[in-house]
């Protein structure tokens, strides 16, 4: 028993959940907005045109974003949530950085 035990992991456990090649949550939000445009506003040619453009263009943009990074929306939400903790500049009352001499006296 010197060798560690190996267990195979099925690829479906590590692959991201995509719906039509885009993130599942964003596709459902896109579909909800399209349904609201069609059924909420009514069957007017303007709302149908906007819904059609949103369906094709919106889903195309979501699939392109998912090809870049399948978890892009979750990473963006985490980035926005962590912004107060990691400012892009040092605080004014921060102590100066330590300078280590290359040669000791």
Per-residue pLDDT reduced to its tens digit, 19-72? 999 999 999 999 999 999 999 988 899 999 999 999 999 999 999 999 999 999
**How much is the average pLDDT of 75-97?**
77
Opening angle at CA 44, ends 59 and 19, nearest 5:
20
Two tokens, residue 54:
């949103």
Two tokens, residue 46:
């303007």
Provide the terminal-to-terminal Cα distance of the chain, rounded to the nearest Å. Answer: 54
Check: pTM over 0.75? Answer yes or no: no
């Amino acid at each position: 028993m010197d060798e560690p035990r190996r267990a195979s992991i099925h690829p479906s456990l590590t692959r991201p959940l995509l719906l039509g090649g885009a993130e599942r949550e964003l596709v459902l939000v896109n579909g909800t907005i399209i349904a609201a445009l069609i059924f909420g506003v009514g069957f007017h040619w303007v709302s149908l045109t906007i819904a059609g453009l949103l369906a094709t263009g919106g889903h195309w943009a979501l699939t392109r974003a998912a090809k870049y990074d399948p978890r892009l929306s979750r990473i963006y939400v985490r980035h926005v949530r962590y912004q107060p903790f990691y400012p892009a500049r040092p605080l004014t009352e921060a102590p100066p950085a330590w300078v280590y001499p290359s040669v000791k006296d």
